[in-house]
Amino acid sequence: MEKNVAKLFLATKRSPNKGSFFLREIYKDYYGEIVAQLVGALQAIGGSPNPVEGIGSSPICFSWFFFESARLLYFISKMKGEKEMENIKVLRRQELETREVMVGDQILVSLAEIGDFTATAHKITDKGVLFIFDEYITSRAMNNLRTNEGGYEKSDLKKWIDTVLLAAFPETLKSRIANLSIPTVGELFGHDDEWDNEHFEPDEDEQLPLMKERKNRVAYLNNEWEWGWLRNATKKSVSGPLFARVGANGVTVYGNASGSLGVRPEFWLVR
């Protein structure tokens, strides 16, 4: 390749008026992607539908453009020697409209004055689909005062979720939403851990299949690690007004009810 280009370049210097002929030789020898790039560049600058004829009538312009063209061909010839990547299998997300939701499917949820988020389907029954937000949507206290009396059902966070958060959902979803809340210890961790069973008020929820992987129990707030509230209050035997929470490393801990932590809503989308 390099020798052919050199010969063409030297021949052009000796006989500039034969430029059209030599460019045609390039077309013959390297017709394909290489010429497509070359012709595109020459057409853009030469201003002629046929860059060979347009530039061939101007020896000075032709010599300069031919030199640049030869350099381009030399570079591409070097690139052609590199091995191309072999075919590999990839997983690519696809957006579609469907009535058949599967565990792991995500939906987009725009919350007015809060932001845009995704929520993943974690459980499907005859009742509908349980969705849990993939990230924390905000940071709030469970209670304004240091108390866990009445548990989650009597908390200030539940009042906010039932009013402000529900109102922020788009109308297309709002009429079909039931049991808007936050996850429980059982949903995220199950009931096999003795420490959890000793410290937190029980729930009757089974661990969700996707939550068996720690990465799905971890969530972020504004692209930063965050700890988040769970629905279970601590037992009376545990000192202090505390609630369960999930740590930034995806394990259970507890925290003061008046502290500000991440809120990761869940909701049932009824059929």
More confident residue, 30 or 264: 264
Q: Is the pLDDT of residue 32 over 90?
A: no
| Domain contains 87 | no
Tell whether 164 and 204 lie within a shared domain: yes
Per-residue pLDDT band for 271 (boundaries 50, 70, 90) equals: confident
Tell whether 68 and 152 lie within a shared domain: no
Number of H helices and number of E strands within the chain?
11, 12
**The predicted structure's pLDDT at residue 118:** 98
Tell whether 128 and 262 lie within a shared domain: yes
Tell whether 66 and 158 lie within a shared domain: no
Tell whether 24 and 151 lie within a shared domain: no
Residue 259's nearest CA partner among 182, 156, 190 is 156
Q: Is the pLDDT of residue 14 over 80?
A: no
Q: Is the pLDDT of residue 27 over 80?
A: no
Q: Is the pLDDT of residue 5 over 50?
A: no
**Tokens representing residue 266 in the block:** 């869940």
Q: Is the pLDDT of residue 29 over 70?
A: no
| Domain contains 121 | yes
Summarised one tens digit per residue, pLDDT across range 199-223 is 999 999 999 999 999 999 999 999 9
Residue-averaged pLDDT of the chain: 82
| Domain contains 99 | no
How many independent structural domains does the chain possess? Answer: 2
Task: Identify which of 17-26, 36-45, 196-205 has the greatest average pLDDT.
Answer: 196-205
- The residue among 16, 46, 80 that closes a domain is 80
| Domain contains 169 | yes
Listed in sequence order, the DSSP H helices in the chain are 2-14, 19-29, 33-46, 51-56, 59-80, 156-160, 166-168, 171-174, 185-189, 194-199, 214-217
Q: Which of 40-44, 50-54, 76-80, 108-112 has the lowest mean pLDDT?
A: 50-54
Q: Which of 55-69, 140-154, 164-178 has the lowest mean pLDDT?
A: 55-69
Tell whether 63 and 176 lie within a shared domain: no
Tell whether 61 and 149 lie within a shared domain: no
**The predicted structure's pLDDT at residue 33:** 53
| Domain contains 85 | no
Tell whether 54 and 117 lie within a shared domain: no
Query: What range does the domain containing 17 cover?
Result: 2-80
| Domain contains 88 | no
Tell whether 75 and 199 lie within a shared domain: no
| Domain contains 97 | no
Tell whether 157 and 70 lie within a shared domain: no
| Domain contains 101 | no
Q: Is the pLDDT of residue 1 over 70?
A: no
**The predicted structure's pLDDT at residue 107:** 96
Tell whether 67 and 119 lie within a shared domain: no
**The predicted structure's pLDDT at residue 96:** 82
Percent of the chain beyond pLDDT 70? 69
**The predicted structure's pLDDT at residue 150:** 97
Distances in whole angstroms, Cα of residue 225 to Cα of each of 149, 157, 180, 183, 220 = 29, 21, 24, 18, 5
Measured between alpha carbons, how far is 33 from 204 in angstroms, rounded to an integer?
A: 65
Residue with tokens 């369960």: 244
User: Is the CB of residue 170 less than 8 Å from the CB of residue 115?
Assistant: no
**The predicted structure's pLDDT at residue 177:** 97
**The predicted structure's pLDDT at residue 190:** 97
Per-residue pLDDT band for 79 (boundaries 50, 70, 90) equals: low
Q: Average pLDDT in the 55-61 region?
A: 49
Tell whether 45 and 150 lie within a shared domain: no
User: Is the CB of residue 90 less than 8 Å from the CB of residue 54?
Assistant: no
